[in-house]
Structure formats: structure tokens, C-alpha cells
Amino acid sequence: MGAVDLHARASAGFEAKLEETSRLLIRAAAEFTPVTQASSLGAEDVVITHLINRLELGIPVFVLDTGMLHPQTLELLRQTQATSKTPVTVYHPVNESVVQFVAREGQEAMYRSVELRKACCHIRKVEPLERALRGQRAWITGLRREQSNARAEVPLIDTSDEAQTGRAKLNPLANWTWGDVWHYIQQNQVAYNPLHDEFYPSIGCAPCTRAIALGEDFRAGRWWWEDEAAKECGLHVKGDSSPLATNLPKEGVAA
């Protein structure tokens, strides 16, 4: 049984949520330009990209290819670039930074400490994201309140870091349930990552993502060897000393 069969269950207010999301995306294209969508090619992000194309908004999309993505994710990226009406740009980490880090710490440094894992995330995600967001007034993410306790207060429009970063974060699916996401995918025949059919609800880099078991938390498969409180890559964390940390997406940028 695939992810669509397992999860596609629209909530009672789905149509109102879809209208709310569409209005926010239309507003983003009109009032927040330049604006871009950060996509990790997860289920939430493919829904947003589909809506951007469906509404003909022309909002560009970017993907962070960390160099450690699953083959299934890379194949979906190729499909998305080939079929999307709006441009899909790929950002890569600085190769020399990756080479030096791996030479110094090894390929499996992320398992040795939270600090090393976050250092890897910074090189492969945070720094490329800074380049992707340069000059943008706003960016669009797939964050939902239901995803985790840390995201329970996610607003549709987040301007809390605008004074510091110069940009707002737009979360058009903030009110959607997981069932809503899959209902939209089913109704509109949206292409999605086949890893979702293998019980990967949240998909990031291959070494840092595993399938989850029945009853496990939505994000239990991300950095599963760490304490729950540490489970962010630096893209969406508040209160970090880095000027990037308040401004970057949760796997759902490969995050």
C-alpha cells in the first residue's frame, strides 16, 4: 500500500485551507517580490510547486542538492525541472568546503556528535541557502504546524526575522494536515518522491534519514540517533547566533 492509499484523507476544512493557501501564494507573487520557493521535493513542497504552476504565478523554485541526496530524490528533481513551467534552480555546497570537511572528519562525521552533524549541515545546506535567498524579500516553505512540537506555532506569514534578515517567511501549508497534503497529491496526480511509499514521511540526506515504524513521530526518521531537541539542521531554528539560522527551511528544504 502506497502513501496515497495510506494518507490521502482530506480534513473537514480542506477546501477553505486550499483557498487560503492559494490566496497567500497569489499575494506572495504580487506583494513580496522578489520571492522564491525553497523545495526539498518532499510531499509538502511538491504540492506548493504544483499550485505555483497551476496558478501561473511564475514564482521561481530552488532545491539544495547537498551531494548526499537519495537517488529517488535526484530523479524527482530531474522530472520537476523537465515539467515545471516556473524555473527550478539547483544550489550546491562549495566543493572545496565539502572536500576539506570530509578529509578532516570523515564521511560519517555526522554520527559522532551533534556539533559535527550541524557543521555538515551548515556546509551542505545553510551556506547554499544563504546564496539562494540573497536579494529575496520573502521565501516560501512547506512548514506545517502538525509536523513537530517545534513547529506547532508556525504562522502563515512569519515576519519575526524581517528586521534582521530583510525577508519574510511564508508558510502556505501551515494549517494543512498530512491527510490534506496527500489528498491534494491524489486529486491532482502530483508526482512525488517514491520514498514516501517506503515509510519516509520526512526526507533529507541519505545518511541522516530512515524509514519510520508504525506509531513513531513524523520526524523520527531524521537524525534518529540524536535527542529530539537537537533535530534541526539550522534552516528554521530561532534564536541562533548565525544571521542565517532564522531564515532557512525545514526538510520539506532537504531540510
User: From the annotation, which residues make up the binding site for [4Fe-4S] cluster?
Assistant: 120-121, 205, 208
Positions of E strands within 61-160: 61-64, 88-91, 138-140, 157-158
Q: Compute the distance between CA of residue 106 and CA of residue 100 in angstroms, rounded to an integer.
A: 10
Question: What are the binding residues?
Answer: 120-121, 205, 208
- The active-site residue out of 233, 235, 244, 245 is 233
Entry field: residues in the chain: 255
Sheet holding 88-91, edge to edge: 88-91, 61-64, 35-39, 138-140, 168-170, 157-158
| Nearest CA-CA partner of 182 in 62, 3, 12, 1 | 3
Let me know if 233 is a catalytic residue: yes
3-class secondary-structure state, position 16? helix
Q: Which residues neighbour 100 within 8 Å (Cβ) at sequence distance 6 or greater? A: none
Q: Which residues pair with 39 in a beta bridge?
A: 63
| Nearest CA-CA partner of 24 in 180, 188, 173 | 173
Determine how β-strand 88-91 pairs with β-strand 138-140: unpaired
Q: Compute the distance between CA of residue 192 and CA of residue 182 in angstroms, rounded to an integer.
A: 10
Q: Compute the distance between CA of residue 102 and CA of residue 202 in angstroms, rounded to an integer.
A: 25
Q: Which residues are catalytic?
A: 233
